[in-house]
Structure 1
């Protein structure tokens, strides 16, 4: 799976950008290369927001990839959710609903003034997973990975400042060069709040520079800053779902 998002919908953390300049390809070329190298791959142009690409080729049968579009919400999911039955009941879904549909429904509940904060919604997902979601109606990106790095998942910054997500490290390197890193475990990323830990929601994230075998800085990994503490965020009522999304 692959997603490239413009700065208007996903602001790339400064710490992810490496000083060393390496040869990369453009965002459009990256998506085209991804699809041409994979049989049956599908790319979705998100207009000014970016693009998402998906392929089921060479997937781990225990960690399948799924793609769905519901009410202008695009989502790519990889992995498996162990507590899928109670989540179907919680979100009022039928028995045929799979993981990617649950993610979309959980996001819709969160967006439309649901009873839980974003960190609780993701923390309720038990299993090995990574997902990329884009809501075209409110121009919101929502990305998360499990607490144990059960699914290979990476992100990076391309030369134009776009943020790139993929489960394939070589794809990330092709588009971002040295400005890439594993996506932090137990974390989620959103348009309005950037990178946050759902495992430690009251802690800030800090960038830790990565250095390769040649001594060059290769972007940063992000870890929970144990010395920090954020004020608890209460629920806020606003006039519209689109505005409410700013609270996560």
Structure 2
């Protein structure tokens, strides 16, 4: 799976940028999506207009960590993996028996956006299993992505030379679009357009970027570690039924 988001929709953490990155761009003319299609047979590309592009393929997928794609009311979701407590989540969100993990993620997000009964970190923490997902809400212009606490699903993100965010389960595709400005997506974390990167395991703590050095000694983006000493000044407020979570986070 692949997503490239324009920098106004998803502002990449500046710590991902490597000074050794070549001048490459993932967004212009859909170049990275075209490359993705060339290396993954049967790929489907979804054009999000000026906001970006998403693409997915069932090529070479792990049968234990299948890829899914769903769209509901202009909310797009790419999902890879398996959620163990699907039955409980379907009941919690009032979904029918045929709903898959991608639909559950969309409904969980929509509940956060429209009613916000729980903090976002609690909602993601309730997903038990091996997973990574990328969601885009075209109405609110919001991105929402997360990976499980153990990093069971290959999931990488990066920043291209123009500051656009790139996310994929294919590390070579991310390298193609971002050069050295990439890293594995942090375990146990989620990212939103307005809130940036947070840990759903330690939501009260700040995340500290640590430069990542590869085997050849080159700096390649950054990893993010929970800072046990630094507490966040504020947490996401709970909002009323008339409020929009995506504007309050």
Distance (Å, rounded) in 1 between the aligned partners of 2:220 and 2:116? 39
- The structural deviation recorded for 1:21 is 2.6
- The structural deviation recorded for 1:150 is 0.8
Matched, 1:111 2:113: yes
Matched, 1:137 2:131: no
Deviations 1:208-248 (A, max 9, x none): 0012233322111111111111234331348642xx31333
CA separation of 1:117/1:97 partners in 2, compared to 1, >3 Å: closer, same or farther? same
> Any stretches of 5+ residues in structure 1 without a counterpart?
none
Deviations 1:75-98 (A, max 9, x none): 000000000000000000011111
Contact 2:117 2:239 in 1 (8 A): no
Distance (Å, rounded) in 2 between the aligned partners of 1:101 and 1:36? 28
What's the TM-score, normalizing by structure 1? Answer: 0.95
Aligned to 2:152: 150
| Cα RMSD, aligned residues only | 1.4
Runs of 4+ in 1 over 2 A off after TM superposition: 21-27, 212-216, 231-234, 236-241
Residue 99 of structure 2, aligned match among 93, 97, 100: 97
Contact 2:79 2:132 in 1 (8 A): yes
Aligned to 2:16: 16
More off after superposition, 31-40 vs 139-148: 31-40
Aligned to 1:245: 246
Mapping for residues 205-220 of structure 1, pairs under 5 Å: 205-220=207-222
Aligned to 2:3: 3
Matched, 1:30 2:39: no
CA separation of 1:25/1:208 partners in 2, compared to 1, >3 Å: closer, same or farther? same
